[in-house]
Amino acid sequence: MTAVVIVFWVCVALIGYAHVGYPLLLGLLAWLRSRRARPRARPLPDDELPTVSVIVAAYAEEDVIAERVANLRALDYPAQLLELIIACDGSPDQTAVRAREAGADVVLELPRGGKIRAQDTGVERATGEIVAFSDANVTWERDALRRLVAPFADPRVGYVCGEVQLVDAATGSNQEGLYWRYELALRALESRVRSVTGGNGAIYATRREAYLVVDPIMGHDLSFPFNMVKRGWLALAVREAQASEKMVPTIEGEFARKRRMMSHTWPIVVRGGMLSPRGYDPLYALMIVSHRILRYLTPFLHVIVLVLNVLLLGSGWVYVAALAIQVFVLVAAAAAGFVPARPLLIARYYVLTTASLAAGLWDWLVHGTTAGWEPAEGTR
């Protein structure tokens, strides 16, 4: 029974560390390093700005692509330094036609090969010193590109991601906004301490020479930051580079989206180089283990805790209380389907998104992961 007790409390501690302890550790490290932190990058004057190619990979985006082009054309960035490339990944509709009509510089009509290969082709055609990327349903703030490229004035920087705000949740039933604010805070702390361990597809950029060609089922969001660090670059986040996009309107829709994302994430973790310590310094290795590996293992840790908790009933009141808490969260998550109270919805969001980590692994192992993608329901 002693071994059961030890495993139980180790798993509880790992879950607590992944969600609470790691943010507190990051905050402490950021505070300790604040006196020698790298200065915040300031927007560059026009005569120091690099040339930039903004690449938008698009599939079946005829309803939003013209608006996306117009938004990028309206950025506060010299027109002669900005190239806009729309890479249509086998779009079955009028995406390419509408992108041309809206004024994109280059419109690529490609066979269906997936988002990553569409981006690769866009980079091959790009002429900018910096290649920036965005999704078709995103809106960038007017100064976003200036903010995004500013850190590249430091020759050590290879990757920069901005900050995307999630808006227009229909009825407020999706608690992604709460979780996303938590993730953004972690990303900002990671950037201050060392480098980020993950980015986002709404607004990010790399140096042309730092761009990586990765397996088409492995997204840039996760594969780029740690691979940049392995190659000696800094991977930073700039909160001032702002974008916005619609969140998936329901928790169930968010579960499906995250499940698809995790089917692309697990290949990166298992065979994409994330687990290899080669190229990591000790601090960044700790960040990868804390924010990525432990986080992705939480559904399995929760199952272990629940099973062992049942076995430990009768060993003290603390195990009765622990089981009561777990049952309460599960019941609250189930009840949220009938009573949409905010505390219940938060419990449902946590349970479903944690389950999506395991569901994505199942999908990859059993069915495999394809390179293609579909626009998430309710986000256009």
Q: Domain coordinates of the chain in residue numbers?
A: 38-258
Indicate the pTM of the whole model. Answer: 0.91
pLDDT-based confidence at residue 378 (cuts at 50, 70, 90): low
Superfamily of domain 38-258 in CATH is Spore Coat Polysaccharide Biosynthesis Protein SpsA; Chain A (3.90.550.10)
The closest alpha carbon to 58, from 84, 76, 40, 77, belongs to 84
Dihedral angle of Cα 287, 291, 292, 295, to the nearest 10 degrees = 150
pLDDT band at 172 (very low <50, low <70, confident <90, very high): very low
pLDDT by residue (tens digit) across 254-305? 899 899 999 999 999 999 999 999 999 999 999 999 999 999 999 999 999 9
Distances in whole angstroms, Cα of residue 341 to Cα of each of 108, 172, 337, 345: 47, 11, 10, 6
28-77 pLDDT per residue, tens = 999 888 755 555 677 778 888 999 999 999 999 999 999 999 999 999 99
